[in-house]
Structure 1
Amino acid sequence: MNLADKVLAVNNDLPIRTDRPVHNGKVRSVYWLTEQDSKRLIKEKGYDVAEDAPLAIMLISDRISAFDCIWHGEGGMRGVPGKGAALNAISNHWFQLFKKQGLADSHILDIPHPFVWIVQKAKPVMIEAICRQYITGSMWRAYAKGEREFCGIQLPDGLKKDQKLPELLMTPSTKGILKGIPGVPEADDVNITRKNIIENFKAFNFRASSDVERYETLLKQGFDVISDALAELDQVFVDTKFEFGYVTDAAGEEKLIYMDEVGTPDSSRIWDGPAYRNGEIVENSKESFRQLLLNHFPDPDILLNKDRMDERQALARDNALPTDVLMEVSKTYVGIAEKVTGKTLMLSENPKAEIIDILKNKYGLID
């Protein structure tokens, strides 16, 4: 079997029983289960959810996206070996730690296979909850140009690139295009302030204004749990993105939970501790791939300038990246997953066949 066959690139074509279209995201595909299958699994497996809760199979892939494009490699490599399994393993680890430490539940109910989550439907809070402990990336680029206010927070003069910030900053942005909120542009991924959220909490899908404080608490607690655990591994947790939503449990209680993924190399920046103390930045996250792309192409502005999206998509479509580039990314993802979980990451020879077998024979979701 060649390397390309071990990559799960297409993940929206499995014969899972569903009566709705498969939702195909950049990295994950979501199969909504039929009402009958959802009810049957809740009963059979004893999931702590309302008996009529809609469930879904969330299937990760090895695709890699950066700068809002999907990239591929030579020799038919449509993704990065081990990336999907690494992302799921890391998220699973942090979600379990959050639960163990009494923070909040996640949307995951069951993990039938390293690539697969069974999740409950949540009503999402329409915020990309971003936390920053160091000044780098887009924040540094804006700061270097003279900007001092970020999401309503004033930063002092004299900060240096990549230095630790005086405190953990919450710099939220919109998730999707929100309409009719005063002072918030009708565009995806625009920075918002705490004041915007509190004054319009219902527009962001919060049930009550007190939940804004709850989300901030969960954000800070989640960041601290991951940061402390990574510090023990001599890794620096730089910044990250969380997502939240509401679900109803078996007792009929509505609660705010973590959803999507947490603390992964896709949603966070993680730096190597010894290198950082030595004045170097060694990325153990997708940021290393982004930097590689910026260095690889002669005109990096195409990747950074949203007005050049057509050219950027053409760049991703027409350029197969060298195999060693994707293998370097694989090494980063697998390496940090094994560091975080303390376990060897088992890579499937044929993930699709394994998934079909498990979902058919153990969950009765494939005819």
Structure 2
Amino acid sequence: MNTITSTDYKFPNQTSVYKGKVREVYRLEDNRVIMIATDRLSAFDVVMPKGIPYKGQILNQIATKMMKETEDLVPNWLEATPDPNVAVGQLCEPFKVEMVIRGYMAGHAAREYKAGKRELCGVALPEGLKENDKFEKPIITPATKAEMGDHDEDISREDILKRRIVSEEDYKVLEDYTRKLFERGTEIAAKQGLILVDTKYEFGKNANGEIVLIDEIHTPDSSRYFYAEGYEERQEKEEPQKQLSKEFVRQWLISKGFQGKEGQQLPEMTDEYINSISERYIELYENITGETFEKAAIDNIENRIQNNVLAYLNK
């Protein structure tokens, strides 16, 4: 299985490299960055030891499509995608919070609720909710952004402002952009017979001081989708929802006794299981975008990326 899990490029006018959980960001002298989506898989803020074929391409292409479909609402960092795994755009100073927005009681929120918590990131949750119930209106539950290997942590609006992580003026913009993007994402999903359950957005300031959307958007790594058909019926019967996200990986890890906690051992992922994850990601791509996934050549991904990026930079 040919995957790309790490890179070591020396691009013209390169000044630094930042390696996140699944992306590697090369900074250039002209206030641009080259972001490479690797095939690394992260769950519970832990990077899995093996790459997933085509995962980076899938995330990059979904994010590119969604940025184009929301740029009339919110400015973003993206300039070009010279390779299936690569995005090039403006250098931005990221805000140190992730703007998580939830339309339904699912995933992390459901786990916290089951544990007895009735407040999430300063937002009060009503009694009597079932897992996957729709909230009366979407709630914003921010998280502090973790470095590689560390856990993101829930944080309230009040604490963000009190600790001066973001100014009140900027935070109002982040909230406004988050709600607008989620509303558009919900509309896009509905056209595909999907429900956008929850997602996260990341923002930064560009060289002009403008707040822009950065990183990925509406991908299966940053979002959770349900199939709309049969949603109500499954809720009435208290059956699990049919969903599109990487939650299936989290549930597999939980079933093997792993949730990223200290002392827990990562279960082995066989080649067969790795291939099944790849197939699931392709299914996610096709259902989210409504387009057939076209596999890029992976016989030598490193060279392909380098050649495509250099051709773009030399234009």
Which AA in structure 2 matches 1:64? Answer: L
Give the % identical residues: 30
The alpha-carbon distance between structure 1 residues 27 and 273, as it changes in their structure 2 partners (threshold 3 A), is: same
Q: Distance in 2 between matches of 1:56 and 1:62?
A: 19
Aligned to 2:100: 130
- 3-state DSSP class of the match of 1:239? strand
- Map residues 244-259 of structure 1 onto 2, 5 A cutoff: 244-248=203-207, 253-259=208-214
Q: Distance in 2 between matches of 1:354 and 1:19?
A: 19
Q: Distance in 1 between matches of 2:17 and 2:47?
A: 19
- Map residues 254-333 of structure 1 onto 2, 5 A cutoff: 254-279=209-234, 280-295=240-255, 297=256, 300=257, 302-303=258-259, 306-308=261-263, 311-312=264-265, 315=266, 319=268, 321-333=269-281
Which AA in structure 2 matches 1:69? Answer: V
Q: Deviations over 1:128-185 (max 9, x none)?
A: 11101111222222212321111221111111111111110001121248xxxxxxxx
TM-score normalised by length of structure 1: 0.77
- Map residues 1-367 of structure 1 onto 2, 5 A cutoff: 4-5=1-2, 7-10=3-6, 12-17=7-12, 19-33=14-28, 35=29, 38=30, 54-72=31-49, 78-99=50-71, 102-176=72-146, 189-200=152-163, 203-206=164-167, 209-248=168-207, 253-279=208-234, 280-295=240-255, 297=256, 300=257, 302-303=258-259, 306-308=261-263, 311-312=264-265, 315=266, 319=268, 321-350=269-298, 351-364=301-314
Q: Which runs of 5+ in 1 are unaligned?
A: 39-53, 73-77, 178-186
Which AA in structure 2 matches 1:14? Answer: Y
Preserved contact between residue 124 and residue 205 of structure 1 (Cα < 8 Å): no
Preserved contact between residue 98 and residue 104 of structure 1 (Cα < 8 Å): yes
TM-score normalised by length of structure 2: 0.89
Q: Deviations over 1:75-105 (max 9, x none)?
A: xxx3112211111111111111111xx2122
CA-based RMSD of the aligned residues comes to 2.2
Instruction: Give aligned pairs, total.
Output: 306
Compute the displacement of 1:123 (Å).
1.4
- 3-state DSSP class of the match of 2:153? coil
Q: Distance in 2 between matches of 1:344 and 1:121?
A: 32
Q: Distance in 2 between matches of 1:243 and 1:162?
A: 24
Which AA in structure 1 matches 2:225? Answer: I
The alpha-carbon distance between structure 1 residues 285 and 212, as it changes in their structure 2 partners (threshold 3 A), is: same
Preserved contact between residue 18 and residue 31 of structure 1 (Cα < 8 Å): no
- 3-state DSSP class of the match of 1:79? coil
Preserved contact between residue 224 and residue 244 of structure 2 (Cα < 8 Å): yes
Q: Distance in 2 between matches of 1:174 and 1:303?
A: 19
More helix by share: 1
Compute the displacement of 1:352 (Å).
2.4
The alpha-carbon distance between structure 1 residues 344 and 14, as it changes in their structure 2 partners (threshold 3 A), is: farther
Compute the displacement of 1:335 (Å).
1.9
Preserved contact between residue 85 and residue 345 of structure 1 (Cα < 8 Å): no
Q: Deviations over 1:196-248 (max 9, x none)?
A: 23445xx3244xx3322211110001011111111121111111111111113
The alpha-carbon distance between structure 1 residues 14 and 346, as it changes in their structure 2 partners (threshold 3 A), is: farther
- 3-state DSSP class of the match of 1:349? coil
Preserved contact between residue 111 and residue 117 of structure 1 (Cα < 8 Å): yes
The alpha-carbon distance between structure 1 residues 278 and 254, as it changes in their structure 2 partners (threshold 3 A), is: same
Q: Distance in 2 between matches of 1:256 and 1:19?
A: 24
Compute the displacement of 1:349 (Å).
2.2
Q: Distance in 2 between matches of 1:261 and 1:65?
A: 14
Q: Which runs of 5+ in 2 are unaligned?
A: 235-239
Q: Distance in 2 between matches of 1:14 and 1:212?
A: 36
Preserved contact between residue 89 and residue 341 of structure 1 (Cα < 8 Å): no
Preserved contact between residue 45 and residue 151 of structure 2 (Cα < 8 Å): no
Which structure is larger by alpha-carbon Rg, 1 or 2?
1
Which AA in structure 1 matches 2:5? Answer: A
